[in-house]
Amino acid sequence: MQQITSSLLRSISKKLPNRILAQRIFKCVFNSTIALIFCLIPKVVDVLGDEPAMLPLISVMVHPGRRFGTMIEAVIFCISGLLLGNSYALLGRFLAQKALTPEKLHLVDKLQKVENYQNYRTALAILAVFEIIMLFFHGWMRSISHKFFAMVFPLFLVVHFTFMDNLKTDAGTIAKSFTIPFFLGIAISLACNLLIFPEFGSSYLGRSMIITLNELHSTIDSTVQFFISVGNDTSLFKVECPSLAQLTKKKQSLRAKLNSTQAVLQECMYEISYSYLSPAQLRNIIEVLKSQLSYVSALINASQLEFTLLNDNSTTEGENDNKLLITVLERARIPIFELQKVISDSLYVIKVGIAKSYDVDFSSISKSPSIELQDFDLESEDFDARINTLARAMAEFDITFRKELDNLNTEYEDYLSPNDDMFLLSSFLMNLKETANAVCNIMKETKLIYEYRLTQERKGFFGRKVWFSFLTSSDQLKGWFSANSNDLANANETASLNGDTQSKIYLGDDDRPRRKSMSTENEFFENVAAKRKQTIHHNYFDKIIVNSLAFYEKFKPHFRFGIQITVGLMVASFPMFIPKSREWYVDIRGTWIGFVCILVLEPQVGSTFFVFFLRGVGVISGAAWGYLSYVAAINQTNPYLETIVTIFGAIPGYYYFLGTPYVKAAIIGIISIYIVLLSSALPSEIGGSILQNFGKRCLAMIYGGAVALICQLIIFPIKARDELIYEVSDAIGMIAKLQLIYAVGLNGEDSKLSMTEERYENYKKLSATAKSALTRADAYRGSARKEPRLKGNYQDIERVFYEIIFILREVLDRMDNIVLLRKVYGSAIIEEFNSTVFPYRRQVTASINNNLRAVQCALMTKAPLPQYLPSSKIAQQRLIKKVTEVVQEKYPIIKKENNESSDSEGDSQIFVEFRGHGHRPDSSHREHLLKEKFLSWNASSSATEEVIDYLEELVELIKVLVGVHEFKYGFLSRSLYSDYAAKAARGYKDMVTGHEDEDKGNATTPVEDEDDINDSASSVEEYDVNPIALVNTGVSSKSRKSVDSNATKLSNGFRKRVYSIGSWVRGDLTRTKSLGQYTDGEIEGDEDNELPLSLMRVVSKKSTIGK
């Protein structure tokens, strides 16, 4: 009982709003209450015009519960939509009035229907045409970007409501009714935002930057600790070593915090700030952090590889190999630790400098949990000395590490041979060095910022300036109006409504439909244009047709959603344009029907269903509370009690609006409270009792929502499942193009630069497009859960896409690292030996590209994969063997390597073996062979091997979705996701436990027997027929024998890392999450110690499949 009570209290405490959320709720409730009070004062109502109920509505739409930057953005968009809507509506009404004869213009609509029917019908037809154009524009703009919803929704309100008014009403009255309430509501919201608990993005920017740097600091410390914590000596660190699962999730957490900081910076561009420093001065640091993110991710990837190699029992001498790696790590741990200590110290100085410059509370700065740093006086801190200290530490690290490697020559004969161990060290050390370089660059930028802050402080009162950040450059000003120029484009309509640019995508609200990659579109239209030019000469009519088709194809998603909005709203509101039904439609408050319908319509079928349900709950609860408030006032005799009752209804409404994912239910619920109440409290032509208006509001929800659902199902239905497949397929195709961009010299041409500036810029653009496609795929994946499905449960398919998205992100991470290393250091093999090895490089590139294209086509066409695909791993092994031979010919002083190790799976360690026997090579040769471009090729080849490993898992997951032609079970076979998850967990467990149950029999036999039971549903066991790489089964028994001895010799610290990953009793294996499932801010929880299944498969297969 006590446990139940404590858990209940914990759950309640988690739901309680924090300080910032509570302040925002207070501001919003206070703002809406002021707006309601103005509507209950008769003298104010006379000033507001004929639509005073618009005042509380706009107080909800432009609410003050956000930072000032997003508030200004919402105000500007709202005013733009308001002015455009008024001018457009007045133009439509002016033309409609011209259709009426002047002598009949003074008649109300009821008399127009009787005395001037034909002209009245013509006038309504003109209004209908204007309504159709407005609705299509509304849908088009919402499809372009979520940000424009704040502009086109006021546009819709003004046009839709003015077209329902009597045609005899003059333009001045219309303009007054739809400008004064709007502008007054905006002014009240702005005042509440600035006077009550003001929040400025420029102040929050410094804190957000500190949070990002804290995460970066923690990630680097944890990664280095994981990498060098192999022995029993734990005196270097004060905290327990993190698990591999926790380390893997730090990549997602760091990326989320960096995106959040960049969003806050963009938000500050809309602000007019008064401070010592401009928010734009942090832009350079953010750019450096974005480039550093790739290197930090590569460090984590190297730690994953280290974890694999220390459990690698695939060779006949696994024990000796592990002993060599542990020895090398023992020798390298002190140099690495010393460099990390300086990096950690420098990051702490950077955080203190930024906190001081941007007035951030020092309590938000976290010191290194692993290293004890000494405090210092920032006023006397010499940044130049710190920068020089970091540069010296990098140089000493390079010298010391080379010396330690040289000392190993007397102990091991083949420690520099092409093997996974040295290849791992090459990858880690190169990326650690680049991380240190990035920290040095951040230190330089921090120095400039801090010195400028001190200079301004010396000026006293005149040191502070008014900063117009959006006027600092034309690019910033253009970026403000650009829909998709930055990471804010990954937000959604929910984020636009509640003002949180980093809101999670819960409801599938990403209104930006799927777009093909820019390069694909351009290639398509260029080819079409070229063919047309060849066959058509000076035929302008045909050119118009071709351009029209090209325009439609390019903007097809916008056309589809625009037509959906148009048809849906016209079906819901067509009675208002028919003379005989217009009066009835006005009496049932038909404007509410269109209002509900346009809010329910979403780009996908599943989202429309879910939002319809949410809106229904919001409308019924809000209208019921409005009814209760009106009844409490006793026929408006006690408006004070009426106002207080509405406050108690608005508080939970704004809590759900600002603090939960149910934004669209909350917003219509809050609006319904005030609309239903004021519809009876304020005198109007329609009138009606409070109970009648409550029923009309519910009727509007049922009618408008049902029309929206029908239109979504019939007119261009967009299924999130299909969009998810398209986005993933596009991402795979772009990854294939990315691989071709950095694979230069495939035809044997000489390349002095392995990565030119032009190729790098093209790669950056295409890589950003691929990442955006994966972000949209995440959004569609959430929407797919809400869609009705007749073919059975969608959960297993969804989990497969979790793993696919995770794999594609991992592949992109490694490709980014390859490109950055080549851009900085070059590649020895491409620049020196390409004329000899280019056929092998071409084979590797072709096999990877063929596999990617095969997977892409199978996913799009749902056709089964072929049984055998070209093996990228074998092609990579041949390349490594050829590179070894070329290097031996180039430097004959180096003795020939042992043939047994030349076929190593290790991806390209170009370090040449220096055998013992009393022979030591000349130092000049050693320096030449250890120069950075050789190390860069080693590190990039490391990433290439991991890319190949992940692509193998991608192929296996695609088999789960579409099947494979295998002859063991017939022409078509399809494995089950539960089998895939079970193999992943079982293989990983066997790897880290060392097959302790070997004496009880072969551990793989029960697995094969179990799989054979489900012959009709399962695919061929991957170890029986593997279409990716051949398996060397000759060493399997020896590998298992070496595991036990290996496991016993590992240090306690390392074994603790292994077993901290989680319990092997995972419960339902099919419910395992991957990193692809986590959204920003969702990285923590009870699953903190679980690895993605695909990563477990990669790790376990590498240690069980022979090289």
pLDDT 10s digits, 38-91:
988 888 888 888 888 889 999 998 999 888 878 888 898 899 999 999 999 999
Average pLDDT, the chain: 74
Cα–Cα distances in angstroms (integers) from residue 615 to residues 150, 512, 599, 700, in the given order? 19, 21, 9, 11
One domain, residues 819 and 882: yes
Q: Round to whole Å and give the CA distance between 521 and 531.
A: 16
CA 1072 to chain centre: 20
The predicted structure's pLDDT at residue 805: 92
Q: pLDDT per residue over 578-636, tens digit each?
A: 888 888 888 888 888 888 888 877 776 666 777 777 778 888 888 888 888 888 877 77
Q: pLDDT per residue over 335-382, tens digit each?
A: 888 888 889 888 888 888 888 888 888 788 887 665 555 555 666 567
Contact 63, 31 (CB under 8 A): yes
One domain, residues 816 and 800: yes
Residue 13 lies in a domain: no
Residue 1052 lies in a domain: no
Question: What mean pLDDT comes out for the span 773-783?
Answer: 85
The predicted structure's pLDDT at residue 970: 55
The predicted structure's pLDDT at residue 711: 82
The predicted structure's pLDDT at residue 462: 77
Q: What DSSP string describes 234-263? A: -TT-SSPPPPHHHHHHHHHHHHHHHHHHHH
**pTM of the model as a whole:** 0.75
One domain, residues 180 and 209: no
One domain, residues 724 and 707: no
Residue 376 lies in a domain: no
One domain, residues 973 and 1065: yes
Nearest C-alpha neighbor of 1021 from the set 915, 942, 1105, 901: 1105
Assign 3-state DSSP to the chain and report helix, strand, coil percentages, each to 5. 75, 0, 25
Count up the domains in the chain and report the number. Answer: 3
Q: What DSSP string describes 986-1025? A: HHHHHHHHT-TTGGGS-THHHHHHHHHHTTTT----TTTS
Q: What is the DSSP letter of 973?
A: B
The predicted structure's pLDDT at residue 728: 92
Quickly state the pLDDT bin for 640 (edges 50, 70, 90): confident
Residue 101 lies in a domain: yes
Domain C-terminal end among 654, 687, 714? 714
Contact 814, 943 (CB under 8 A): yes
Which structural domain range is residue 611 located in?
18-197+540-714
Let me know the angle formed at the C-alpha of 782 by 779 and 786, rounded to the nearest 5 degrees.
Answer: 135
One domain, residues 229 and 80: no
Contact 135, 104 (CB under 8 A): no
Q: Per the structure block, which two tokens stand in for 293?
A: 């993110």
Quickly state the pLDDT bin for 817 (edges 50, 70, 90): confident
Quickly state the pLDDT bin for 442 (edges 50, 70, 90): very high
Cα–Cα distances in angstroms (integers) from residue 815 to residues 194, 444, 736, 751, 768, in the given order? 46, 28, 11, 20, 12
Residue 1098 lies in a domain: yes
Q: Round to whole Å and give the CA distance between 11 and 276.
A: 43
Quickly state the pLDDT bin for 991 (edges 50, 70, 90): low
Q: Which helix (H) or strand (E) holds 272?
A: strand 272-275
DSSP bridge partners of 964: 865, 973
The predicted structure's pLDDT at residue 184: 93
Place of tokens 């195709």: 733
One domain, residues 701 and 807: no
Instruction: Fill in the amino acid letter for 805.
Output: I
Residue 715 has pLDDT above 50, yes or no: yes
The predicted structure's pLDDT at residue 316: 43
What sign for the dihedral angle of Cα 511, 517, 520, 523? positive
Residue 244 lies in a domain: yes
Where is pLDDT greater, at 1065 or 941? 941
Let me know the angle formed at the C-alpha of 278 by 275 and 279, rounded to the nearest 5 degrees.
Answer: 110
Contact 193, 271 (CB under 8 A): no
How many beta carbons lie within 10 A of that of residue 885, not counting itself?
A: 15
The predicted structure's pLDDT at residue 24: 92
One domain, residues 26 and 152: yes
Q: Round to whole Å and give the CA distance between 103 and 106.
A: 7
Residue 1038 has pLDDT above 60, yes or no: no
Contact 570, 715 (CB under 8 A): no
Q: Round to whole Å and give the CA distance between 612 and 599.
A: 9
Cα–Cα distances in angstroms (integers) from residue 614 to residues 25, 625, 669, 778, in the given order? 21, 17, 10, 21
Q: What is the DSSP letter of 1077?
A: G
Residue 325 has pLDDT above 90, yes or no: no
Domain C-terminal end among 658, 686, 714? 714
CA 266 to chain centre: 17
How many beta carbons lie within 10 A of that of residue 401, not counting itself?
A: 18
Q: What are phi and psi of 468, to 5 degrees?
A: -100, 85
One domain, residues 99 and 155: yes
Residue 305 lies in a domain: yes
Q: Per the structure block, which two tokens stand in for 38?
A: 């103005």
Q: What is the DSSP letter of 512?
A: S
Q: Which of 220-229, 528-537, 933-942, 993-1002 has the highest mean pLDDT?
A: 220-229
The predicted structure's pLDDT at residue 999: 41
Q: What are phi and psi of 872, to 5 degrees?
A: -70, -30
One domain, residues 740 and 661: no
Domain C-terminal end among 698, 714, 730? 714
What sign for the dihedral angle of Cα 70, 71, 74, 77? negative
The predicted structure's pLDDT at residue 1040: 31
Percent of the residues in the chain that have a pLDDT greater than 90, as a whole number: 12
Half-sphere CA count of 614, side-chain side, radius 13 A: 26
Cα–Cα distances in angstroms (integers) from residue 278 to residues 233, 262, 972, 1030, 1090, in the given order? 47, 15, 63, 59, 42
Q: Round to whole Å and give the CA distance between 810 and 950.
A: 8
The predicted structure's pLDDT at residue 498: 57
One domain, residues 841 and 940: yes
The predicted structure's pLDDT at residue 1089: 54
Q: Across the chain, how many H-helices and E-strands are there?
A: 41, 2
Residue 536 has pLDDT above 50, yes or no: no
Q: What is the b/e burial string over 533-548, where b = at least 16 CB atoms within 10 angstroms of the residue's CB?
A: eeeeeeeeeeeeebee
One domain, residues 83 and 164: yes
Cα–Cα distances in angstroms (integers) from residue 958 to residues 110, 762, 1063, in the given order? 65, 29, 28
Cα–Cα distances in angstroms (integers) from residue 974 to residues 150, 614, 1026, in the given order? 47, 38, 14
Quickly state the pLDDT bin for 233 (edges 50, 70, 90): low
The SS3 call for residue 274 is strand
Q: Round to whole Å and give the CA distance between 609 and 218.
A: 42
Place of tokens 């001037």: 116
Contact 627, 691 (CB under 8 A): yes
Residue 671 contacts by C-beta under 8 Å, 6 or more apart in sequence? 56, 57, 60, 622
Q: Per the structure block, which two tokens stand in for 88?
A: 């457009």
The predicted structure's pLDDT at residue 1067: 36
Q: What are phi and psi of 973, to 5 degrees?
A: -135, 145
Residue 530 has pLDDT above 70, yes or no: no
The predicted structure's pLDDT at residue 515: 46
Residue 912 lies in a domain: yes
Q: What is the DSSP letter of 468?
A: E
Query: What is the total residue count of the chain?
Result: 1107
